[in-house]
Amino acid sequence: RLLLQSEPAASTPAVPAAPAPAAPAPAAGLPATDTRVLTEDEQVAEAERRLPSLPLAYWNKHKNDKNKFYKKKDCAPFPSVYDLEFHNTYWQTFHSTQGVFHFYGAYMDARNTSRIGPAVRVLAVHDRIKPTLATHCQLWFEEREAPVVVRNLEYKYVWNSKWGNYRDHVLQPYLLACVLPADVRHLTPASVSIVESPCDRATNNLRVHYERPAARKDFAVCVKGLDFLHEDLSVRLVEWIELVRLLGADKIFFYELQVHPNITKVLDYYAARGDVTVTPITLPGGQPNLPGLQHMYLKKKTTHKRQMELIPYNDCLYRHMYEYRWLALLDIDEVIVPLEDADWAGLLRRVLPLAAPAPGKPARSSYHASNLYFLDSLRHEHGWEDGVPRYMHMMQHVFRTRNFTKPGQYVKAFHETERVLALHNHFPLACLGGACSSYALEHEHARLQHYRADCVRALSKSCGELSAQPVRDTALWRWREPLVARVDAALRALAFLPPHR
């Protein structure tokens, strides 16, 4: 195991080596063997933990109940878990007469701001850009023997035709809505199946998520599928997690495609502390999920990548919209930095009165920060900063571009969970109770600090202009003392730094 140095002696700028993946400790003698066989209930709980969209506990509870599940063969029998069509582990499939659907999750939306009333929303991809198929929702309740069948109200397109891939036979992200009839609006469905005709035998059955705690917390962060199979960003990730937590994130929800073993070690450490939740995810349909090949595919097929990122973002919204008032969708190389307040809560207390909409205008749905680059090339030109451990990536990057990217470009936002219906990386795509209204945070109040090797490809022509006459900026050093202490403690606990002597 290669240990990082907290105070390198050399003065030549050099990035410290990342810790080597820890190998399993050799066993002394024969390994202990756990011969206990899991009970059926334990097996069910473990399977449902690994596949949250599967209503396995509900199915297992009632599988022998002769009066349950409307078992008449002529109309809408409840599908056995063994008859469901799974695809790429986390998806369920429905082959219709007009294309294929892959379903990722289902969620109860009982927000007061929804004009259609209580509904089950289903997150899916479909290989059509303008679906005309009249699908139906078979809703299954704990309190009912027979399913409640309703027509799917809408296909909400979670993309923009101007962004590319706007053609049939490419998987498109959608949000479907199954509105609850008046006589069951006081109930919560246990699961839902999407079928073509009301009486069809379904090949999919999704658990309906509806976790509603007694009190709503302020902030959580959602991170799209991590794709760092060969890149060891474990030390940077520790710094980023600790900073985001310092600024006010109660929890960080990560989605994971493929990651380096040291990143897994970091995520496991914070998951055990209750600071993060990690959800594995795959690409649907015929897209590759083989390690390595998947990374090559995502680098080449950037539009496909962007479309598929909308699945974890919106799953994060619908899984946690009752638990948190604000969600921020961030990558692990960026953070929204308040400039006059100690944390995000103070920032929004300052901003909310200023952002009140004019009479007759829609309520604010989001509050976005403008993008400012802290590029690796700018740091390399100026050497190391004294008083900050060299392994702290963001704290060492104190030179930024003089100018922000254009208004609205590459922004990140705090999204009001009571208002947003569908989220994109930068802005909400649809909102409840009217049009979306995102407020631009003033530059003196906050900005998005983005730590990249270079500008994004789309800005390659203007990157030189952005990088000209860089500015020394130590705004992040306001949190230097507590952040260094937290990062140091975490790295020692992870054995990435030697213990204190």
Is the per-residue pLDDT at 31 higher than 70? Answer: no
Any idea where the domains of the chain sit in the sequence?
48-209, 217-493
Following DSSP, what letter does each residue of 97-145 receive, concatenated? TTEEEEEEEEEEE--TT-TT-SEEEEEEEES-SS-----EEEEE-SS-S
**What is the CB neighbour count within 10 angstroms for residue 299?**
10
What confidence category does residue 199 fall into, taking pLDDT thresholds of 50, 70 and 90? very high
Tokens of 383: 């050497």
Locate 77 and state its tokens.
């029998």
Are the beta carbons of 344 and 336 closer than 8 angstroms?
A: yes
pLDDT tens digits, residue range 350-408? 999 999 998 888 899 999 999 999 998 887 777 889 989 999 999 999 999 988 989 99
Which amino acid is it at 4? L
pLDDT digits (tens, 9 = 90+) for 74-109: 788 888 888 999 999 999 999 999 999 999 999 999
Can you tell me the distance from the alpha carbon of 408 to that of 412, in angstroms, rounded to the nearest whole number? 9
Reported as a pLDDT band with limits 50, 70 and 90, residue 24 is: very low
Is residue 1 very low, low, confident or very high in pLDDT (cuts 50, 70, 90)? very low
Query: Does the structure show a pLDDT above 70 at 14?
Result: no
Tokens of 185: 């609006």
HSE of 469 in the Cβ direction (CA atoms, 13 Å)?
3
* Distance in angstroms (rounded) separating the CA atoms of residues 225 and 90: 13
What is the spatial distance between Cα 126 and Cα 91, in angstroms, rounded to a whole number? Answer: 12
DSSP state of 460: T
Phi-psi region of 75 (alpha: psi -120 to 50; beta: other; left: phi over 0): beta
The span from the CA of 458 to the CA of 452, in Å, is: 14
- Write out pLDDT tens, residues 278-314: 999 999 999 999 999 999 999 999 999 999 999 999 9
**DSSP per-residue codes, 271-336:** HHHTSEEEEE----TTS--STTHHHHHHHH-HHHHHHHHHHHHHHHHHHHTTTEEEEEE--TTEEE
Distance CA 185, CA 314 (A): 24
CATH match for 217-493 among 1.20.144, 3.90.550, 1.10.3470, 3.30.2250: 3.90.550
pLDDT of residue 475: 96
Please tell me which of 22-31, 373-382, 483-492 the model is most confident about, judged by mean pLDDT: 483-492
Beta bridge partners of residue 438, listed in sequence order: 366
Is residue 246 pLDDT above 50, yes or no?
yes
The residues, ordered by sequence, that sit 6+ positions from 168 with a Cβ below 8 Å of its Cβ are 99, 127, 128, 129
- What does the alpha-carbon distance between residue 212 and residue 199 come to, in Å, rounded to a whole number? 32
